[in-house]
Amino acid sequence: SPLMCCSWKQCSLTALSLCRLLLVKSCCVSSVCGQPPLNTRIVGGQPAPEGAWPWQVSIHRGFGHICGGSLINNLWVLSAAHCFQRNKLNLKSHDSDNTVYIGRQTQENANANEVRRTIVEVINHESYNPSTNDNDIALLKMASTVTFTNYIRPVCLAASGSTFHAGTDSWITGWGSIGSGSKRTVEMPVVGNRKCKCDYAGVFLINDNMICAGLEAGGKDSCQGDSGGPMVSKQNSRWIQSGVVSFGRGCALPNNPGVYARVSRYQSWINSKITENQPGFITFTSSGTDSDLSASCSLVPPLTTTPLLRRLLPLLRRLRRLLPLLRRLLPLLRRLLPLLR
């Protein structure tokens, strides 16, 4: 669909052509967000067609891809706080060590439609807790704006008060835990928070700042996407981001849904950090009655394993980020081994 001005006061009729030229870069985000021109038929778990998810961002640090993110206007990217937490185990030293690629299709070959930007500021949520994974959300400011194209567009964000009932179709995109190959897509239903709390009783604490998604039988999970990447759902002609990939137990295991930061809980926080050209927030409304309201778990084990798992989780995340480096070093090690014998 054609891009339209937020207010026709921005353009005189005689300057309409000029307005259209400038629109892609300057128009308010709510008029263009969540409308990918090239998003046709998507097959879950398969490589995503080029341009299908134009807000998908690849975040690089050091030796390559470390996390995903989503473009939310022409200057800011939304991601997960755990990708940038500051502690002794973190590989990050400066915000400028992080680079983002937007419009990227594959991590292995040249991408004619992508742009690269250096990050000049990383804002982790002030209440992010790496032990409980609460408030696992971050904003990244790029060094300069990007121009919207068919391959580069912002996603809409779920506004405060949005409802995502159990079973709501959701899509997660990314390059996978090792950041290789082409961008992939996974379709999964929302798992209500009551059910999610039951699934993770004794392991993780699930609260209202989180939203879960996954198949009861397993087989698909956000481990096929990226930490920090977007989970989106479609309402009418718009794709709206409901979650930010945060954590889970294992990968695609039965009754172990992926857990995401619930975007609708952070509208005020995001707007307090982005005061100009604010992201496009749209209220997502599920119809009917939420089946999760009747979910219950009668036997809830005590949270005896939680402290240990909470301590191990940050370390495991960092080890996973070293996989791209190890993958690149393997050919060199294979050549050196015969010399050491």
DSSP notation for 254-308: TT--EEEEEGGGGHHHHHHH--SS---EE-----S--GGGG---S----SSSHHH
Q: Looking at the predicted structure, is the pLDDT value of residue 323 above 70?
A: no
pLDDT of residue 308: 56
Q: Looking at the predicted structure, is the pLDDT value of residue 322 above 90?
A: no
Q: Looking at the predicted structure, is the pLDDT value of residue 270 above 80?
A: yes
pLDDT band at 281 (very low <50, low <70, confident <90, very high): very high
Q: pTM of the predicted model, to two decimals?
A: 0.79
The answer to whether 290 and 189 have CB atoms below 8 angstroms apart is no
Which position has the higher pLDDT, 334 or 302?
334
Mean pLDDT of 46-55: 84
Mean pLDDT of 126-146: 96
pLDDT of residue 159: 98
pLDDT band at 48 (very low <50, low <70, confident <90, very high): confident
Q: Which of 40-49, 81-90, 204-213, 310-319 holds the top average pLDDT?
A: 204-213
User: 58, 82, 233, 290: which is the annotated catalytic residue?
Assistant: 82
Q: Looking at the predicted structure, is the pLDDT value of residue 268 above 50?
A: yes
pLDDT of residue 303: 43
Known active-site residue 208? no
Q: Is 232 exposed, middle or buried (0-12, 13-18, 19+ CB in 10 A)?
A: buried
Q: Looking at the predicted structure, is the pLDDT value of residue 120 above 90?
A: yes
Q: What is the CA radius of gyration of the chain?
A: 20
pLDDT of residue 299: 47
Mean pLDDT of 138-166: 97
pLDDT of residue 307: 54
Round to whole Å and give the CA distance between 74 and 142: 9
pLDDT of residue 7: 40
Please, where are the H alpha helices in 27-160?
A: none
pLDDT band at 149 (very low <50, low <70, confident <90, very high): very high
Q: Please name each of the domains of the chain with its CATH number.
A: 41-285 (2.40.10.10)
Round to whole Å and give the CA distance between 51 and 113: 9
Q: Looking at the predicted structure, is the pLDDT value of residue 298 above 70?
A: no
pLDDT digit string, tens, across residues 76-114: 999 999 999 864 334 444 667 889 999 999 888 878 999
Round to whole Å and give the CA distance between 174 and 105: 10
Closest CA to 245 of 233, 263, 257, 261: 261
Mean pLDDT of 279-289: 96
User: 58, 170, 227, 246: which is the annotated catalytic residue?
Assistant: 227
User: 65, 79, 136, 170: which is the annotated catalytic residue?
Assistant: 136
Known active-site residue 165? no
Known active-site residue 290? no
Q: pLDDT over 70 for what percent of the chain?
A: 70
Closest CA to 299 of 216, 198, 205: 198
